[in-house]
Chains A and B, each alone.
Chain A
Amino acid sequence: MSTKKIKIVHYLNQFFGGIGGESEADTGLQTREGPIGPGIGLQQALGAKGEIAATLICGDNYFSNLIGEVLPEIISKIKNYDPDVVVAGPAFNAGRYGFACGEVCKAAAEELGLPAITAMYHENPAVETYRKVRGVYILPTEAMARDMPRVLPKLAAFLERVVSGMPLGPAKEGGYFPTGQRRLETTSTSGAERAFNMLLAKLNARPFETEIPTERFEQVPPAQPVKDIRSARLAVITTSGLVPKGNPDHFRMFNATEWRKYRLPDQPALAGSDWEVIHGGFNTVYAQANPNVILPLDALRRLAGQTFGELDENFYTITGVGTSLKTAKEAGEEIAASMRAARVDAALLVAT
């Protein structure tokens, strides 16, 4: 077996690149020679087997706002280093970072034909979006970055297997999210026997494992079109964590567990002095100064009676940072029920 050192290019966001938190999310692409941040731990785990040749760092907002420009730049930089593998993250439960890691891995795999590995929490939306991209592997992590010391050695061992071409085994055994690839395997027992054994196990309430897991795609039927928007009663939902001054219901900055309904003021716009933005995932300075950028009461008041009928006197709010799918679903159902009770015809979910 070859003893050539594995050459790696590592992608990080501004936080893990040591530049700074949310206030630095607009940082443009930077290249550093050698490992940075989590790359130092990854390098330690790899020892002499591999070398992080370069680290590419980009702010999360910069990446998502300028993906069309920055992604080709990233790919061209990766190409210059001629690595054996690309590593991005780990991103844990960070939404934008997970997306950036997924995009970088996808582009490296599809455009450069390189294996690309990232790691994140199973509820990070990027897992579903990128896990089936050929050449991309996503390893599971916990939600929080504290899990880093446990993940990095796994990442190191996994990338070694990928680069050396060793079989990875099924996703569950190999420690990565299923990629949707099926491989032919032979066993000593026939299909009939295996099926029969599974049936026996099922009848005896013993655990068994199917060989053909069916993927559960959730069908979300689109809502019926609004019959007549000009007479419709509209209610607004925001995931920005907008709450009255003083945060009376103790909203959390992350991992929201509750939503609330608050009365809109009888004014043409929201005043920053009356409201607070409890959101741990974006720079809230501008929204705090002018909450109409996250809940456009100013525009809605102008449009009411013309573009749509009337505005409900309440708005709905939750903090959309690391909110679990379960909480989001429950909140959505409860908000919908509350809107129905208030004879609301249409909900407007404003972008945060």
Chain B
Amino acid sequence: MDLEDQGRIKAKVEEIGSSEIVVVLGSPSIEAAEMYAETLTFGDPTYAGPLAGIALRLPVYYISESDIKQQIPPEIYRDQVEMMEMVLPSEEIAARVKAIRERAAST
């Protein structure tokens, strides 16, 4: 995950607190989504960025997960997201992101 993005999110959490933040991912690949979720939950696994060793434990969701999807006006979802949801391995990505949430809840 990009070093600057890590820094921005870290600063945001310091500013408003983690209880006010939910992360919604739209990453196109399984690996990227998993990496983002892991970094924002348990800290940067590569130890390269500002989140090295810092477990923010932010709730991370994939945009096609029903909890998120049902909060987006259907016409906007249809225009902006639905096409990509169909062509990407969305279910697999959502499952991996969810698995990281579950791992965070159990540790």
Query: Using a CB–CB distance below 8 Å, which chain A residues touch chain B?
Result: 15-16, 18, 20-21, 37-41, 44, 144-146, 148-149, 152
Check B46 for interface membership: any CB of A closer than 8 A: yes
| Chain B residues positioned under 8 Å from A21 (CB to CB) | 3
Give the distance in Å from the alpha carbon of A38 to the alpha carbon of B45 in the complex: 9
| Chain A residues positioned under 8 Å from B38 (CB to CB) | 146
Give the distance in Å from the alpha carbon of A37 to the alpha carbon of B45 in the complex: 10
| Chain B residues positioned under 8 Å from A39 (CB to CB) | 47
Closest residue of A by beta carbon distance from B50: A18
Q: Closest Cβ of chain B: how far from A321's Cβ, in Å?
A: 16
| Chain B residues positioned under 8 Å from A146 (CB to CB) | 35, 38, 45-46
With A18-B3, A21-B3, A146-B35 known to touch, is A40 a contact of B53 (CB < 8 Å)? yes
| Chain A residues positioned under 8 Å from B48 (CB to CB) | 15-16, 18, 37-38, 145
Interface residues of B in 28-72 (CB under 8 A from A): 31, 35, 38, 45-50, 52-53
| Chain B residues positioned under 8 Å from A148 (CB to CB) | 45-47
Query: Using a CB–CB distance below 8 Å, which chain B residues touch chain A?
Result: 3, 31, 35, 38, 45-50, 52-53
Give the distance in Å from the alpha carbon of A20 to the alpha carbon of B6 in the complex: 12
Other 4 A-B pairs with CB < 8 A, given A18-B52, A146-B45? A15-B3, A38-B52, A40-B53, A146-B38
Give the distance in Å from the alpha carbon of A75 to the alpha carbon of B33 in the complex: 40
Q: How many A-B residue pairs have CB under 8 A?
A: 40
Contact residue among B3, B35, B47 (Cβ-Cβ distance under 8 Å from A38):
B47
Give the distance in Å from the alpha carbon of A15 to the alpha carbon of B48 in the complex: 6
Give the distance in Å from the alpha carbon of A152 to the alpha carbon of B46 in the complex: 10
Give the distance in Å from the alpha carbon of A37 to the alpha carbon of B47 in the complex: 5
Closest residue of B by beta carbon distance from A16: B48
| Chain B residues positioned under 8 Å from A18 (CB to CB) | 3, 48-50, 52
Give the distance in Å from the alpha carbon of A241 to the alpha carbon of B46 in the complex: 26
| Chain A residues positioned under 8 Å from B50 (CB to CB) | 18
| Chain B residues positioned under 8 Å from A20 (CB to CB) | 3
| Chain A residues positioned under 8 Å from B45 (CB to CB) | 145-146, 148-149
With A38-B46, A145-B48, A148-B45 known to touch, is A44 a contact of B3 (CB < 8 Å)? no
Closest residue of A by beta carbon distance from B4: A20
| Chain B residues positioned under 8 Å from A16 (CB to CB) | 46-48
Q: Closest Cβ of chain B: how far from A93's Cβ, in Å?
A: 13
Closest residue of A by beta carbon distance from B39: A146
Q: Closest Cβ of chain A: how far from B46's Cβ, in Å?
A: 4
Give the distance in Å from the alpha carbon of A15 to the alpha carbon of B52 in the complex: 13
| Chain B residues positioned under 8 Å from A44 (CB to CB) | 53
Q: Closest Cβ of chain B: how far from A41's Cβ, in Å?
A: 5
Give the distance in Å from the alpha carbon of A18 to the alpha carbon of B6 in the complex: 11
Give the distance in Å from the alpha carbon of A314 to the alpha carbon of B53 in the complex: 50
| Chain A residues positioned under 8 Å from B3 (CB to CB) | 15, 18, 20-21
Q: Closest Cβ of chain B: how far from A140's Cβ, in Å?
A: 17
Give the distance in Å from the alpha carbon of A178 to the alpha carbon of B3 in the complex: 35
Residue among B47, B52, B53 facing the most chain A CB atoms (10 A cut-off): B47
Q: List 7 A-B contacts (CB under 8 A).
A: A18-B48, A18-B52, A37-B48, A145-B46, A148-B45, A148-B46, A152-B47
| Chain B residues positioned under 8 Å from A38 (CB to CB) | 46-48, 52
Q: Closest Cβ of chain B: how far from A89's Cβ, in Å?
A: 11
Contact at A37–B35, with CB atoms within 8 Å?
no
